[in-house]
Amino acid sequence: MAGFNTAAPAIDYDAFIFDLDGTLLDTADDLGAALNNVLIDHNFPAVDSHIYRPAASNGAMALLEAGFGQHWHNQTKQMDLRQQLLDSYADNIATHSQCFTGIAQLLIALEQQQIKWGIMTNKPEFLTTPLVAAITELNDAQAIVCGDTLNVAKPSPLPLLHTAQLLDVDPSRCLYIGDAERDIIAAKAANMHSATALWGYIPSEEEALGWQADFNWQSPIDAFNHI
C-alpha cells in the first residue's frame, strides 16, 4: 500500500538528504532532448517520454540503451555516444528542468524548522553544479556531494556518510530520499532512514515498494509528517 510506512520509528531528524534527478528535480525532458539529439544525429528516430523517463535516473548509458533499444548492443562506439549525449545535455541543462510539485514548499519548511538539508547525487559534478545553480529553490543546499566527489558512488554508503559529515549530523539522524533502489541500499548501509520518492523515475510502484524503504511517499508533501 502506498504512503509512508508507520512501522519505522518516529524521530526528529536533524537533516534531510535528497537525491537530485527524479527526487528534487524533474530533469527527464532535458535528458530526453539530449538523447534525441544523439539518436537523430545517427539516423535513429527520436523517442517519446515514456521511453526515456524511466531511464532518467540511471545515467547516460541507460538512456542510450533505452533510446537505441535492440540496436544498442550493436553500437561499437558506445563511449563516444555517451560523451555526445553528455555534451548535448550540458549545453541545455536547465531548459525544461524544474522542481517537482511540493519540493519548494518542503525545503522552505525544513529551513523554518532549522532542519539541515543537502543533496547526494550520482550525477557528476560538472553537470550537477550548473544545474543546481540554475534552480533557485536549490541554491540554499548546505551540502552537495556528487557521483565523482569520492572515488565511489551509490549504492556505496560512503557518499552519504560524507554528506552527513559535511552537514555535521550523525548519519542515524538523517533521512535520505531517492527514487532508485541504489538510494535505499546506500541509506540502509549508512545507517540512515530512507524514503522512496514514488513521484520520481521508479520502474513501477510495485517494484519500488519492494525496496523496503522506511517510508514510501507519493508526494513531497508526505514528508511534512516527519519534520
Task: Give the active site residue among 12, 14, 19, 48.
Answer: 19
pTM: 0.92
Task: Assess whether pLDDT exceeds 70 at residue 119.
Answer: yes
Peptide linkage before 157 cis (omega within 30 of 0): no
Residues 153, 171: contact at Cβ < 8 Å? Answer: no
Average per-residue pLDDT for the chain: 94
Q: What pLDDT score does 94 carry?
A: 96
How far apart (Å, rounded) are the C-alpha atoms in residues 108 and 126? 27
List Cβ<8 Å contacts ≥24 apart for 152-155: 153/122, 154/120, 154/122, 154/180, 154/182, 154/183, 154/185, 154/186, 155/181, 155/182, 155/183, 155/185, 155/186, 155/189
User: 19 catalytic, yes or no?
Assistant: yes
